[in-house]
Amino acid sequence: MDKLVIEGGKPLSGTIVIQGAKNAALPILAASLLAEGTTFIHDVPHLLDIEVMLNILRDLGCRAEHKGDKVSLDTTSADQSHVPQHLMKQMRSSIFLMGPLLARFGETQVYQPGGCAIGERKIDLHLQGLELLGAKIEETGNRIICRADRLQGADIHLDFPSVGATENIMMAAVLAKGRTTLSNAAREPEIMDLQRFLNAMGAKVMGAGTDTITIEGVEKLNPCRYRIIPDRIVTGTIMVAAAATRGQVTLHNTQPAHLTSLIHVLRRAGIPIVTDGDIIKVSSAVRPEAVERIATAPYPAFPTDLQSQVMVLLSLANGVSMMKETVFEGRLKHVEELSRMGADIRVDKNAAFIKGVPRLYGATVEATDLRAGAALVIAGLAAQGRTVVEQVHHIDRGYESIESMLTALGANITRYATMQNKQFYAQ
């Protein structure tokens, strides 16, 4: 496995253009199956999760090409509705294929998906929604078979505003007969991006961004050209890294409205933030202040995907902060790794109490999941001395060459492949 080696203590400085959003691109790639023909999608980052999704689509009979930031996806020859188990194990977002495959082929066979080990993430809400649309579902072990001659519109209420369930139901309902009303829907920007994409294909979807989405089923969708929104979590990660290293960074291709909760938290910590159109400027020359209480919750509240990164910043703050994780029960594994670097954090169930320290120190740490890995990179950038981050493949699931991104901002960060590591540690 690759490792990142970071020589810390250097403020980030410069300008960066933010990549397209992984969490918008994945369901949109899946939704392309709903129309026969070639769809062109722009601002698609080169990530492990994206490549897994494209490999699944190829296995289903599609022709997919990813050049630069553009994906061309020809679904004309798609003739399979069985998603291979070995590919589903690699990525949780593969579950997005259930809705489109069921809508197009009338059946699909999938398996319980894989992904980061950050706690229990059941797919019950996905299955309940598809059943209400008329699907017959059979579960045998970890295999799930769904069948429906044609889906029927329905009134669906989600017990929890699950992003994945909302997107799967939207994609299935666009070709269903009649109207579907989805209440207590997730409100994330990625939901709004999926609505725009489906409507560009000829769907009739309204209400994304609110808790009620209405879908009028249509007979057919057509391929289109589309550009993915900027990645708000990558944007937030770079913003926090700039603040933690007491640097000055200008971020282009952002949507500040998608990051209102983070901007509010950073300003409470005394970090100056300036927004201008699609540009965000972060500058901080002094130690941040503690933030009394932050709790993660579904959008538009503070995102769980930025919890670990902000915890690094708070571990360097003046005073005691509290971070409560309410979305995933297994998302505090990075605390032990940060403690290796000198952070003073106490965990009580799903709450972390962070007593700020003057500085962190370099250490060898392990990325336990995607966002925890990003947090450890930030810690390494801010720390005194050398930090080695292992299990970098987790980070590669959501950040396109994170070392190149940060090097462009003046960081001293290098990736070492397995053989190079042997040479590196022999020095």
Tokens read off for 339: 């403690």
pLDDT tier, 84 (very low <50, low <70, confident <90, very high otherwise): confident
DSSP state of 170: H
**Active-site choice (62, 116, 146, 224):** 116
Name the pTM for this structure.
0.94
DSSP state of 269: T
Place of tokens 């009649």: 178
Q: Are 338 and 359 in contact (CB under 8 A)?
A: no
Among residues 57, 95, 96, which one has the least CA distance to residue 78?
57
The answer, yes or no, to whether residue 172 has pLDDT greater than 50, is: yes
- pLDDT one-digit tens code per residue, 221-234: 999 999 999 999 99
pLDDT of 417 over the 80 cut: yes
* CA 150 – CA 146 distance, rounded (Å): 12
pLDDT band for 328, please (50, 70, 90 cuts).
confident
Read off the pLDDT of each residue in 275-291 and give the average, rounded to a whole number: 97
Quick one: pLDDT at residue 114?
Answer: 55
Q: Are residues 171 and 34 in contact, defined by beta-carbon separation less than 8 angstroms?
A: yes
Name the CA radius of gyration of the chain, rounded. 22
Q: Is 116 a catalytic residue?
A: yes
Alpha carbon dihedral 199, 145, 71, 369, in 10-degree steps, equals 110
Q: Which amino acid belongs to residue 168?
A: N
Is residue 115 scored above 80 in pLDDT?
A: no
Classify each residue of 138-175 as buried b or exposed e, where b means 16 or more C-beta atoms within 10 Å of its C-beta.
Answer: eeeeeebbbbbeebbbbebebeebbbbbbbbbbbbbbb
Read off the pLDDT of residues 376-413 as tens digits, 9 standing for 90 and up: 999 999 999 999 999 999 999 999 999 999 999 999 99
